[in-house]
Structure 1
Amino acid sequence: MKKLITIDGMGCEHCVKSVKEALSSLKNLNIIDIKIGEAAIEIPADFDMDLIIEALDDAGYEVKSIQ
């Protein structure tokens, strides 16, 4: 299942790298693309979205939406 995450606080390529590292730490998640302000990922249907929110929060970013 493909999801688009809108992320607040990403303003540079260093932020993109930090978000990529945070999302890469999660199992069963496939990163499709990350750019300033958003990340496209592919996850299983039963994936706990709170894990994504928590990982990004720990990295210093706020999830605005997951679609």
Structure 2
Amino acid sequence: MKTTISISGMTCGHCVSSVMEELKSLKGVDDVSVDLNAGGISTATVTSHLELAPEEIGEAIAEAGYLVVANDA
């Protein structure tokens, strides 16, 4: 299943790496891709074989230091 998350506060490649690392650490996640929109709303797409709770996705993004503004999960 795919989950798309809109994230604010990301500005560079290091931001992308931090978010990807946190999301990939969630149980059931197979792949993560991030479309960086520096200074705007970036988008992360998470592919997983288990259902992910919006809360755990939000916590992972917050752990990386960013804010979820929308989540289709």
Shorter-normalised TM range: 0.7 to 0.9
Which of the numbers 55, 59, 63 marks the counterpart of 2:64? 59
Q: Which runs of 4+ in 1 moved over 4 A?
A: none
TM-score by length of 1: 0.84
Structure 2: 5+ residue stretches without partners: 37-41
SS at match of 1:11: coil
Q: Distance in 1 between matches of 2:51 and 2:35?
A: 25
Q: Distance in 2 between matches of 1:40 and 1:46?
A: 14
Q: Percent of counterpart pairs with the same letter?
A: 37
Aligned length: 67
**20-29 or 31-40, which deviates more:** 31-40
Residue 45 of structure 2 aligns with an amino acid whose one-letter code is: A
Structure 1: 5+ residue stretches without partners: none
TM-score by length of 2: 0.78
SS at match of 2:55: helix
